[in-house]
A and B are shown apart, each in its own frame.
Chain A
Amino acid sequence: MGWKSNIILAIFLICVGIVGLFLLKDMPEPPAMFPEILFFLLIFFSTVLLISVLKNSKDGSEKKEINYYPVLKITGGLVLYTLIIKILGYLLATFLLVIYIILVMGYPKKLITVVVSLVSVSIIFAIFKLLLNVPLPAGLFLGL
């Protein structure tokens, strides 16, 4: 990560600070005081970061190739999981999630993947649902 990302970060945070201050417009004084100071500090430190990065723009800009695909796939999988957990139910959704994650991570053995997923989700289900009485989502189909 070179200096470019730091510049983007600083500008992004400055924008957050300005939007934050804007949001505080209608808030009464005591609860607004603290956030107001914080947004000013955010803008201040981001500006300091921006200036220092621009000053030293030449060093530390070596690029390292990062493989973002698996990261995006896992995040996407988690988002999808959260969207459908109430429909599929905890057991089925989590079973599929574990298989998906192990495959994205690049593990080649399919049978072991399915077995591990089945066993681990069953144990976790037993701990949380049966021992701790957590009402895990049952889903629309299986009633699990």
Chain B
Amino acid sequence: MNEILLGFSQIFQPLSFLALAFGVLIGLIVGALPGLNDNITLAVLIPITFGMEPEIALPILVGVYVSACYGGSIPAILLNIPGTASSVVTTIDGYQMTLKGEAGKALGISTTSSVFGGIFSSLLLMFLAPFLAKQALRFGPPEYFALAILGFSTVAGMAGKSLTKNLLVCVIGLIFATVGMSPQTGYPRFYFGIDYLLDGIPFIPMLIGLFGVTTILELSETISKEKISKYVLPKINKVLPDFKMVKRLLPTWLISGSIGNVIGILPGAGMIMAIYMSYDQAVRRNKDKEFGTGVPEGVAAPEAANNAVVASSMIPLLSLGVPGNSAAALFIGALMIQGLRPGPSLFKDYPDIAYMILVAFFVGNILMGPMGIMLGKFLSSTLLRVPRQVLSGVIIALCVTGAFAMGNSVFNIWVMIFFGIIGYVFNKLKLPHSPLILAIVLGPMMELNYLQSMVLSKGSPMIFVTRPISLGLLIIALFFFATPFINSLKDNLKRKNSLSG
């Protein structure tokens, strides 16, 4: 409890607080801009935060992450243009409400739902992360190895139909992770005579490539033919929902928030899954209402869910060092350049920073509501006039400069271009990105801890199943690995039944 108070006292330092508010503002802006999202913004901001104190750098990044997906809901509701992928579902009922003349009501619902979902998950983050981290301090190499396996298993479990592709991407990521000096022995692997690669593929230029450059390449396909059109904003009336509405939406918030939290904690699942699942739940529970015609629950469900994913995706990262999604992986980069290592030791060695991050999520969510209501209309009307063509040029400039700055070398720009192309090709082949990043992060951790475990056990792999925590983690991993197979078996059985019936 004391530590949480310490976090509060840190975030309410004037500079940290201003940084957080600034981050929330940036998040709202990039969220509302179609084509930009939290990942690309974090990727280009991380190099800029390099020279700042962590007390200022990290609140900015937290602010961006907290508010970007809420920002995306504003044009989704007002103009039927989802600002980010996380607000795709919000357009279904949100824009219908606008057409009915209820734009203000819809914005109010999206705001309160987002704040509710966000606070819900930041409370979970605040109490669960330190607890998990404390448990994780007892982890030895076998437990960390098992944890890495668990990380991969959730990716497999979430794969749906494209299990082979997801696993393939994991393996590709793991192969990328072997570039550079091998753990323990320091033997140089796959560096092709390029000294820059001895420390491994530079992480941040790679992320800038995967998020920044890939986005621009994707955009260029369609945008060069697109006409620049003007949007007409609807009138916005009363914004905040009344008590009756809050009471009506509360069950939806709780259910969607819980879905978001669970999905956020699982690595590899992601926001898109959360919004569809929670919308689906809302439809099932409200059979009397016609969704798609402007039902308040249709806005509340995805908005509560996507903001619940935000803070909870930081739980595995901060407590165990395993990123839950791409944004969390970007935070690894942000912490690393500050000389901090995410994971259990962060709470022990730098409690002020660790708890400040937790509290920043909480405070950021509270700031987001009023800032969004005040700026929502203004942002949508001005931002959508900024041509995306022009924005692309500025983003590319930020990308190349940021990549260069991460090691003061032109080689990093090559890495950025390479991964920009990889990301683009992945999109074309429908290969998912997040397992790639997860694998690149988990690869070295897995290999090092495997080797250390073998030293501990004098070469016997039994060490992974004789230690209770490691065994437990492996059993959960097995369950996740088995899920897609069980599901496809079930489908097959159903199909057979329906064919014979």
Contact = CB atoms under 8 A, between A and B. Distances in A.
A67 B428 contact: no
B393 interface: yes
A97 B396 contact: yes
A144 interface: no
Given A75-B421, A97-B396, A113 B390 contact: yes
Given A71-B217, A106-B389, A42 B171 contact: yes
A99 B390 CA distance: 9
A85 B401 contact: no
B398 A82 contact: no
B428 A101 contact: no
Interface in B199-257: 213, 216-217, 219-226
A31 B396 contact: no
Contact of A49 (B165, B175, B414, B421): B165
A124 B387 CA distance: 20
Nearest to B395: A101
A132 B190 contact: no
Contact of A70 (B48, B224, B396): B224
Nearest to A74: B220
Contacts, number: 170
A14 to B, nearest CB: 11
A46 B167 CA distance: 10
Question: Which of B217, B394, B413, B421 has its CB near the most chain A CB atoms (within 10 A)?
Answer: B394
A46 to B, nearest CB: 7
B224 A112 contact: no
B224 A67 contact: yes
7 contacts: A34-B450, A67-B221, A82-B413, A102-B390, A105-B224, A106-B223, A117-B397
Give the top 8 A-B pairs by smallest Cβ distance, nearest first.
A31-B182, A105-B389, A106-B224, A107-B389, A70-B220, A31-B187, A102-B393, A132-B51
Given A97-B397, A98-B393, A135-B408, 10 more contacts: A35-B189, A38-B175, A75-B421, A78-B396, A82-B413, A82-B417, A90-B404, A105-B224, A105-B393, A136-B401
Interface of A: 1, 5-6, 9, 13, 20, 23, 27-28, 30-31, 34-35, 38-39, 41-42, 45-46, 48-49, 52, 66-68, 70-71, 73-75, 78-79, 81-82, 85-86, 90, 94, 97-99, 101-102, 104-107, 112-113, 116-117, 120-121, 124, 127-128, 131-137
